[in-house]
Structure 1
Amino acid sequence: MINTIIFDFGDIFVNLEKETSIVEFKKLGLDGPNEELLTMNDLFERGKITELQFIESFKKYIPEADILDIRKAWNSVIGEFPLYRLEFLQMLSHKYRLFLLTNTDAIHISRFEHMAGISFFSDFYQCFEKVYYSFEMGMRKPDPEIFNYILKKHDLSPKRTLFVDDKKENTDAAAALGIQVWNLNVGQEDVVDLFEKKILE
């Protein structure tokens, strides 16, 4: 019987506008991500480099772009957070131990909080026993240690814990540790379909 749920954030609760971000960067002259920028993103999500170091890594490829414009393009990926998902989460919080575990960075979290407003994001955070950001933890999914840390820290039983994420590499890593998983198919499934998946029975 599941008694704990660990949720991802992006495309689980807040919609990610990935195509919008690509378009915005193209306007600045960047034709999609490359290996160096992906590496810098990984470091930024682990909290290993500063916000300025991350933003300036783009300047190598789009030297004419203003730092504020780069930041705006980076944040354009953060989309809507539908109220019905918050209401669903609030209902769950009365029945299960809930945790948030997300690969993210300080820029995106700041943007989300600004867009959502203090009342909304406070209600959201209050649903969780603990919120875990990769950039604060110094590690990110699908590293096994990030899951093991939470299991040990909160004395969780893997077989009684459900992990919900839209990336298969993340749910595969959790499943390898004995955690129950739901690899949510974005666009075809919604987190509020949880009970329809029969996972919690």
Structure 2
Amino acid sequence: MIDANKNTIIFDFGNVLIDLDFERCYQALENVLNVDWSSRKLPQIIIDAIHKYDRGQINDEELIAAFQNFNPNANPNDIIYAWNSLIGEIPNERFDLLNELKDDFNLCILSNINNLHINFITDYLETKHTITDFEDRFFNKVFYSHLIGKRKPDEEIYKYVTETLSAEPSQILFIDDMDENIEAAINFGWNGRVHKPGSEITEHIGTYLSETGFK
């Protein structure tokens, strides 16, 4: 439920609330597929598959098949393990931050994410933090790309979120680690701040809020 009298903070998930380790993921995929992706740029066939997967347009098996183009003998479970190695940790202080913020703001997540990653995160939250109600406990609404069929930075996703929340764009602050996602949000009328990977959201949220006039 959204409180129309409160401003809304929308967090990206990866590299804002949960750490990501792209280097570890690249290395794991290279090992499983016997490929050299030292340029750290994925082949276009994989990029296309990931974008479709993020929109829920293909399933787990079809994503795995895209990777198997590079090694037909690669074990699906090994591919899944490598794929999930992208996901890192959520330090306890970030849960504390969300608890502090939710009294004064509507809180949401807007994430390009997929079935395997969200299942992995759900298991991580329960195993590591004994949290089984993450979305309901900390957020008014979550927007996962694979469930809504839309992906950042496409304009349609910002329109969808704004209409779903029944919010004025000027009442929204979006925090994301990618310039193009923030640029698209600002073009739609949202407030936006780029959160650089490796920086700690608990240390920067005060600045983001004050710069936006939300605090």
- TM category, shorter: over 0.9
- The AA in structure 2 aligned to 1:169 is E
Q: Does 1:7 align with 2:14?
A: no
Q: Does 1:112 align with 2:117?
A: no
Contact 2:87 2:121 in 1 (8 A): yes
TM-score calculated relative to the size of structure 1: 0.94
Q: Which residue of 2 aligns with 1:19?
A: 23
* Cα RMSD for the two superposed structures: 1.6
Q: Which moved more, 1:149-158 or 1:123-132?
A: 123-132
TM-superposition CA deviations, 1:66-123 (whole Å, max 9, x none): 0100010000000111110111011101110111110000000001111121732524
Selected match of 2:200 from 176, 179, 190: 190
Cα separation, partners in 2 of 1:85 and 1:169, compared to 1, 3 Å: same
- The AA in structure 1 aligned to 2:19 is N
SS for the counterpart of 1:164 is strand
Shift of 1:172: 0.2
Structure 2 CA distance, aligned partners of 1:165 and 1:2?
20
TM-superposition CA deviations, 1:125-174 (whole Å, max 9, x none): 42111111100111100011111111112111111110000000000000
TM-score calculated relative to the size of structure 2: 0.88
Q: Does 1:155 align with 2:160?
A: no
Structure 2 CA distance, aligned partners of 1:74 and 1:4?
32
- The AA in structure 1 aligned to 2:12 is D
Q: Which residue of 1 aligns with 2:65?
A: 56
Q: When the two structures are aligned, how many residues end up with a matched partner?
A: 200
Selected match of 2:184 from 173, 187, 194: 173
Structure 2 CA distance, aligned partners of 1:104 and 1:196?
27
Identity of aligned residues (%): 30
